[in-house]
Chains A and B, each alone.
Chain A
Amino acid sequence: MTSTITVEHLWKVFGPKPERVVGTELASLPRAELRERTGCLAAVRDVSFAVEAGEVFVVMGLSGSGKSTLVRCLTRLIEPTSGEISIDGEAVRAMNARRLRDLRRHRVAMVFQHFGLLPHRSVLDNVGYGLEIQGIGRAERHRRAGEMLTLVGLDGHENQYPEQLSGGMQQRVGLARALAIDPALLLFDEPFSALDPLIRRDMQTEVRRLHAEVGKTLVFITHDLAEALTLGDRIAVLRDGELVQVGTPEDLVGAPADDYVADFVRDVPRSDVLTLRWIMRDPLAGETCEDQPLPATTVIRDAVPRILRAKLPVQVVEGDRVVGVVDADRLLPALISHHRQVPA
């Protein structure tokens, strides 16, 4: 069970009479000036993107970039000012309260930065909350909540209360709660940024594992580039409410759309992200190469031993077709350089 989302020309303006901003000349004003003139804050500005079924779609931006607002607009936890959102082809903004509640109850679940657990309920009842409000009986929801706790590795903690758990464990509860309703789409709002680095890494691994196991569509908000690169099939970079670039991790690192993104990815070890495609050159006429070619999708770092050991350049292939060659000369700049590269 997977889900798709499309978002078109989405706006969210906070402040007095927000509807007067969209579609007028005010819309093109820079943030600060808009605030000066109208007292309004445009948190999300004309954002459009599409998320494919089964994809992990990461929205990345600094604090204040509007990413948390954006994700809340998807299920109208924050009511958008204008634009279209559709989930599985159904227009979210057209839904009435009941339909919207059904969407939230059955199809979309969310995990929050500060967990949002209910301190007066046991872990088991927290996980079962979503089922409880759907009217599912006690035995059934305890059974399913128990399964979810097993899934996130919290066996044996059923009867504890949130305050007795560590932050990482609390977020596992939040995750289990979201999974318990078996949604096709999971939204994560900076779920791990309140956690210690080691625990954060564990949790990221956990998310990847769950994604592999249960295969849901994931929308993941983060301000942490490393996290975005680790998890994202595609990454959307948001700045001052506007979408700056949408692309694979490779696209972002290899071809940042502008200086903002470039600045963002500057410290990323390129060889960890880029593939050979980004450093290969055209074969010279009559050039002799190593016998074993490398696929173009190989990450540079993984190819380093091969290329350095090779006496001759190595062919880069896409399927059977040779698309270029790499040698030590091409390799070294990628390992040391932070300069912008363009695909050959």
Chain B
Amino acid sequence: MMRLRTVASAALILTLAACGGATSDAGESTPSAGAKGTVNLAVNPWVGYESDAAVVTYLLEKKLGYTVEKKELKEEISWQGFETGEVDAILENWGHADLKKTYIEQKKVAVEAGSTGNTGIIGWYVPQWMVDQYPDITDYKNLNKYASLFKTSESKGKGQLLGGDPSYVTNDVALINNLKLDYTVVFSGSEAAIIKAAQQAGAQKKPLLFYFYEPQWLFAQEKFVRIKLPPYTAGCDADPKKVACDYPDYDLDKIVSKKFADANSTAYQLIKNFKWTNDDQNLVSDYLTNQGMSADQAAEKWVNEHEATWKPWIPAGS
């Protein structure tokens, strides 16, 4: 539900009209943490992130007495929010070196707040049944042998690699070229489309080679196996056109706005301390996705059962 702000914004317009131009971060933002105890959390659109947000929100509200405002945003817009003052924290950031450069180094409106403890794995996957049937398929060197299995109406006679969640920079096209694979990338365009295709591939026993990542709640439902690409070594992905190695593991981290960090509130400290495992996150994600719980219910259940994990996050003296 939206909050009622009529009077406030009317007054604001009057004040601003009196003193001239209105800057883009004026007045709009709900006050940053500390002053009135509101924390603005960006919530990026995948369930793993929602699990982080659910637990952090629960702890902030129930244990530290803050009000949390969740903002459902795509990644890039969340980063913009640091600048306009509308976002205090991003809880699960996947790399995004370009955004870090813009907002942390150049604009200096955001700072890193440490790892979430989760490891992000990106790679190419096939459904379990394919591995059962073609055991050597998990080595990229054998992919050309099976290319015809992966032919679709979209792949122009080659094998199809379903990829392209547009939120990530991927190396798939370069990888296929440089590893001389008889495949073509079909851009699915959304995470949901990839998940649906993966589900169908499992249910219908249809071949599918797809770009995917962990932690991901889908792994709680179905088994998928990662293809072994030439191992990652530091710097092997330096030139995006010449990449011929696997994706690195991502240390998923937290980013907060500079203002929020500088205020050094207990909320900031809790977010900074927040750290858990992929299993923890997958558990909460499973509550959310497959057991139909609300964010609060899922967080409460996890918090009740994992006190040892979250206790150290709570700042001393609160």
Task: Consider the complex of A and B and state whether they touch directly, i.e. have CB atoms less than 8 Å apart.
Answer: no
Residues of A at under 8 Å CB distance from B? none
Residues of B at under 8 Å CB distance from A? none
